[in-house]
A and B are shown apart, each in its own frame.
Chain A
Amino acid sequence: MRGVCTRSGSLSAADFYASAIYFSQRWNETNSDFPNWVWIPCSRLGAISEDEGYLVLEKIKLQTERNDSNLEELNNCDSSANDDLTDEATLVDVHSHDAHLYDLHIAYSFTYKVPVLYFRGYKSDGCHLSLDEIKEELPSHSVEILQKSKWTFMTQEEHPYLNTPWYTLHPCGTGDWMKLLLSSTSYGENISLIQYLPAWLSVIGQTVGLRVPLELYSRS
């Protein structure tokens, strides 16, 4: 059921689905230079779910320390005054011989009733990046938090739908900070839950160097 923001910080599975479809449509419309988010329905024992699944964005280059030098050539958006926000998601540069690419998946946690980010990185030869290699690439404030608490921030866990290990940001605190975010004045009183995902990604994206374009927040 679609609903007005309940200020609880969490959302139902049905709301997650609605928000995921809305978010991917808006992203794909406003971000034509960038790969699309795709909804993958959950397929279980031969039955394809109508509304359970996850979003994927694959083979992208994140704004990382090492990609900075490539940024000027590929950046085609206005950079903001604050240096920290010049993080722009860049085009996939398949010609760069040492490009690190990432897959990002967003799935729903039935326990915590929030979205969860799963990601993994590859070298250009297809080899998976280790935790240490990813740490070198993450924005520095993420690394600080990671260092303080290895187990409660970023962990390697099994993807809820694929039988493979992925890195994930632990969701147990998400409800709390989303509650704060959704009740802040910049979002106004009546934000619909359909905008939950763009709001959530605006925070989570920063942890891994993915920026969400501002156009995504404009009400169409």
Chain B
Amino acid sequence: MEEEATKYIWEGAIPLQIKLHESEITSFPPPPPLMILGLRIGYLPLLVPPLKAHFSSTLPPGTDNVWFDYKGLPLKWYIPTGVLFDLLCAEPERPWNLTVHFRGSPGDVLTPCEGEESVKWSYINSLKEAAYVINGNCKNVMNMSQADQYDLWQSLLKGNMEGYLKISSRLKLGPFGEDSLPSEASETVASSRPSRIPVRLYVRSVGEEIVDIEDAPIIDSWDKISYINRPFEIYKEEGGYVSLKQALKSLLPETFNTNSSQEESSTNVKDPNAPDFEDDNAKLRLVRVQGIEPDMDIPFFWLANCLRNPEFYLHICVFISKQPKLI
């Protein structure tokens, strides 16, 4: 089952229609936009070679400094393409219309991207961070040979799942949770430390008055999105069954539950028949992972194992509404 899920993730792609920003068009008639598939697990700057080939004849003179925007919002290049799409398009747009710029990256908002190298190092750093979350150290990633690092990156670039898995499986970073119960010999050591799953949450708030999430307004600033890079922790003896809903509530304690403490809420198994979040300040409107809206009662570990990105992070887009306060 997990193999099928992995294949699904690697094959996932967003149809993109990318136009050049009008300020950079020096030819008439203007060049048509480029239609291209963006891998869900890929990154926008990796599309620069075909974009450059398509637009180079019309670009003004100068050095390239590539960046993308969606309806005016500069896009963070180190967020996987699929995550950007799930987060920013409340109503999935097909094709997804983006604008590319080759000049004047807004340095006050975006960290600089010097092409493929920047993306590669950001990726390796994420992998290192995930390894640290899972193992408590990043030795396995630090000790990768140059050749392996190269092959791993090339496999990701080309969407070569088999090639990637051959190398990544040697890092021994999965599977999470239930499937990786320690052997009896190491039980006493392992059970004193919680299991940690690398998670990146992207949360946006939608007005309570908006009935259909697909009508949510366009995001015009990253200040409207909360980014939470925080491992999900659980002690094995407290029970391996934690639902997606419970995991999210424990990762967003102030947002949901003013009453329970951070340490308790991750294992507080509520009555599944109780109405959702009746004690809480906010309501979960929509949760998207790899373009799917999972059932909220799905076991979190299983979800993480199936739908995580190749760098071992589970990226979750969350849309919430604040509950109006009762007077």
Q: Which residues of A contact B (CB under 8 A)?
A: 44-50, 110-112, 128, 151, 155-158, 160, 163-165, 170, 172
Contact = CB atoms under 8 A, between A and B. Distances in A.
A45 B322 contact: yes
A50 B254 CA distance: 9
A128 B107 contact: yes
Contacts of A45: 203, 205, 226, 255, 282, 320, 322
A45 B289 CA distance: 21
15 contacts: A44-B228, A45-B205, A45-B320, A50-B254, A111-B229, A111-B231, A128-B107, A155-B125, A158-B76, A160-B227, A163-B221, A163-B223, A165-B108, A170-B125, A172-B132
Nearest to A10: B136
Nearest to A1: B263
Nearest to B130: A111
B254 A47 contact: yes
B281 A47 contact: yes
Contact of B222 (A49, A111, A163): A163
B128 interface: yes
B32 to A, nearest CB: 33
Nearest to B198: A111
Contacts of A111: 129, 132-133, 198, 229-231
Given A49-B254, A158-B76, A164-B109, A151 B121 contact: yes
B307 to A, nearest CB: 20
Nearest to A150: B121
Given A111-B230, A172-B138, 4 more contacts: A44-B255, A151-B125, A163-B223, A164-B109
B318 to A, nearest CB: 10
B200 to A, nearest CB: 10
Contact of B322 (A46, A110, A112): A46
Nearest to B205: A45
Interface in B231-266: 231, 252, 254-255
A75 B111 CA distance: 36
Contacts, number: 62
B110 interface: yes
A110 B230 contact: yes
Contact of B111 (A44, A50, A112, A157): A157
A78 B167 CA distance: 57
Contacts of A151: 121, 125
A172 B128 contact: yes
Nearest to A14: B262
A47 B222 contact: no
Contacts of B121: 151
B112 interface: yes
Contacts of A157: 111
Contact of B108 (A48, A158, A164, A172): A164
Interface string B201-233: 001010000000000000001110011111100
Interface string B283-327: 000000000000000000000000000000000000010100000
A47 B111 contact: no
A129 to B, nearest CB: 12
Which of A44, A128, A157, A170 has the most chain B CB within a 10 Å cutoff?
Answer: A44
B199 to A, nearest CB: 10
A109 to B, nearest CB: 9
B109 A163 contact: yes
Given A45-B255, A158-B76, A165 B320 contact: no
B231 A110 contact: yes
Contacts of B198: 111
A155 B110 CA distance: 14
Contacts of B252: 44
A170 B129 CA distance: 11
Contacts of A170: 125
A49 B262 CA distance: 12
B135 to A, nearest CB: 12
Contacts of A47: 254-255, 281
Contact of A165 (B112, B203, B226): B112
